[in-house]
């Protein structure tokens, strides 16, 4: 049975919620990421003004990413250039701190940033699936989403560094 828009709008949480295409799932993932960032922002203490400013600038970009598959593209080269520059800034600030895999743990908001990182990866995977489904979108979207996932990881390293929290290495028995 195909669902349709209910008469009572209280029974309808999103205009595209009953679609069977992956576009709606992509939009929900990007919305989830924006919400995760809101949680991170609520948990940032003093001494993290630079990270707060970056995340506040990033939230609207994620909603631009959200609408860029169904609607017109809202992510541009200057957005990815800015994100790469911020990534490089934080990476250089913590150079040598992480040399391999680490366990995703630490004080808040580190675990929440790891959830952002994982959601970023899910967004990349959803873009792969959307492309497989035949959906057309600008190639900058998966580029931006990949940088997003990496950006969230480097923020975990910066926060733990500033709080003097050690990274816990993970040594794989699989590779």
Q: Which of 82, 70, 65, 73 is nearest to 29 (CA)?
A: 65
pLDDT per residue as tens digits for the range 56-82 = 999 999 999 999 999 999 999 999 999
Q: Which CATH number, 3.90.1150.10, 1.25.40.420, 1.20.1200.10, 3.40.50.1370, labels domain 21-90+104-162? A: 1.20.1200.10
Residue extents of the structural domains in the chain: 21-90+104-162
In 44-172, alpha helices (H): 49-67, 77-93, 110-132, 140-162
pLDDT per residue as tens digits for the range 156-169 = 999 999 999 999 99
pLDDT per residue as tens digits for the range 87-107 = 999 999 999 999 899 999 999
- Measured between alpha carbons, how far is 172 from 2 in angstroms, rounded to an integer? 46
């Amino acid at each position: 049975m195909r669902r349709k828009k209910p008469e009572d709008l209280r029974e309808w949480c999103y205009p595209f919620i009953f679609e069977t295409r992956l576009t709606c799932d992509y939009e929900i993932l990007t919305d989830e990421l924006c919400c995760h960032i809101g949680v991170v922002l609520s948990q940032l203490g003093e001494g993290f003004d630079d990270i707060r400013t970056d995340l506040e600038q990033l939230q609207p970009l994620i909603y631009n990413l959200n609408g860029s598959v169904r609607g017109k593209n809202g992510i541009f080269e200057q957005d990815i250039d800015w994100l790469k520059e911020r990534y490089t800034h934080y990476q250089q600030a913590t150079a040598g701190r992480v040399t391999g895999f680490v366990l995703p743990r630490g004080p808040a908001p580190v675990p929440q940033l790891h959830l952002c990182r994982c959601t970023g990866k899910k967004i990349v995977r959803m873009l792969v699936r959307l492309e497989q489904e035949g959906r057309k979108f600008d190639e900058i979207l998966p580029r931006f989403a990949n940088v997003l996932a990496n950006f969230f990881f480097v923020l975990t390293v910066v926060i733990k560094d500033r709080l003097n929290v050690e990274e816990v290495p993970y040594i794989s028995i699989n590779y």
